[in-house]
């Protein structure tokens, strides 16, 4: 018998009356043919009327002659915005990672807000190369003793003097990174409601040790949501006051 061992309630969550498995995956159709084998066991293709799609529910391999189905997230990760749009955060995060200014990103939303926000761990090495002018101006205006010490320094010296943690406090750096993230996201086809409108920069990497990543290197969303609860709230309040 298929199902969870001695757990009928859990079994009923994933198996329907016809015995098909609901994996809870979120998929999108690729516009171009992807010849790679797609591994999935979803059953939401039942209603598809396209005669070129071949589906076998009792198998794990599916062939598509008119394009491929790509798994981009899990339904349990979806969040709904106030205007009724659903956002698949993993899809957005994977798209944002095409931006070479960031190393890690966690996207979060709220049902009472019309947009998403994000927590970002920058790629500081790349950032220091591409934002020299912004970093130099920021270093010169921050409070003493650093500001005083940096007055007569050259740009290269300023970059070495200022820390990653200090860079994360710069509003100009945040705006620079967010603008680049959303530029790339639009180029990759994300819709306006999927884009983060405000971000928080953290110098701390996402790791298994600090609980921000799972052992399979995926985002530990429950831990991140709990850890950054106040941060997310402040991001929305900050955007509201702008």
pLDDT classification of 138: cutoffs 50, 70, 90: confident
pLDDT tens figures, 198-225: 999 999 999 999 999 999 999 999 999 9
Output phi, psi for 96, to 5 deg.
Answer: -60, -30
**Cis peptide upstream of residue 145 (ω within 30 degrees of 0):** yes
In this prediction the pTM is: 0.69
* Architecture of the domain whose range is 78-125+168-241: 2-Layer Sandwich (3.30)
pLDDT tens figures, 55-94: 333 333 344 445 666 655 455 667 788 988 888 898 899 9
Determine what percent of the chain is predicted with pLDDT higher than 90: 46
- Count Cβ atoms within 10 A of the Cβ of residue 76 and give its class: 0-12 exposed, 13-18 middle, 19 or more buried: exposed
Other beta carbons less than 10 A from residue 12's beta carbon: 12
pLDDT number for residue 1: 56
Mean pLDDT over 97-117 rounds to 95
Nearest to 57 by CA among 28, 13, 22, 30: 22
CB 168 within 8 A of CB 101: no
pLDDT tens figures, 178-189: 999 999 999 999
Q: What does the domain layout of the chain look like in residue ranges?
A: 8-74, 78-125+168-241
């Amino acid at each position: 018998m298929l199902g969870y061992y001695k757990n009928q309630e859990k079994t009923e969550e994933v198996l329907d009356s016809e015995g098909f498995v609901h994996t809870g995956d979120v998929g999108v159709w690729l516009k171009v043919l992807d010849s790679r084998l797609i591994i999935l066991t979803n059953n939401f293709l039942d209603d598809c009327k396209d005669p070129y799609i071949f589906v076998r529910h009792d198998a794990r391999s599916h062939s598509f002659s008119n394009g491929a189905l790509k798994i981009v997230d899990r339904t349990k990760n979806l969040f709904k915005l106030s205007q009724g749009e659903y956002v698949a955060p993993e899809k957005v995060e994977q798209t944002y990672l095409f931006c070479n200014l960031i190393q890690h990103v966690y996207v979060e939303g709220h049902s009472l807000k019309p947009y998403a926000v994000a927590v970002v761990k920058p790629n500081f090495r790349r950032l220091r190369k591409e934002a020299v002018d912004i970093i130099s101006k920021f270093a010169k205006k921050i409070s003493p003793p650093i500001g005083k010490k940096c007055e007569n320094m050259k740009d290269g010296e300023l970059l070495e003097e200022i820390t990653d943690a200090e860079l994360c406090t710069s509003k100009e750096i945040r705006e620079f990174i967010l603008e680049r993230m959303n530029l790339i996201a639009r180029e990759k086809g994300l819709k306006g409601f999927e884009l983060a409108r405000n971000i928080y920069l953290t110098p701390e990497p996402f790791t298994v040790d600090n609980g921000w990543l799972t052992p399979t290197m995926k985002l530990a969303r429950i831990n991140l949501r709990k850890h950054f609860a106040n941060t997310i709230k402040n991001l929305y309040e900050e955007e509201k006051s702008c």
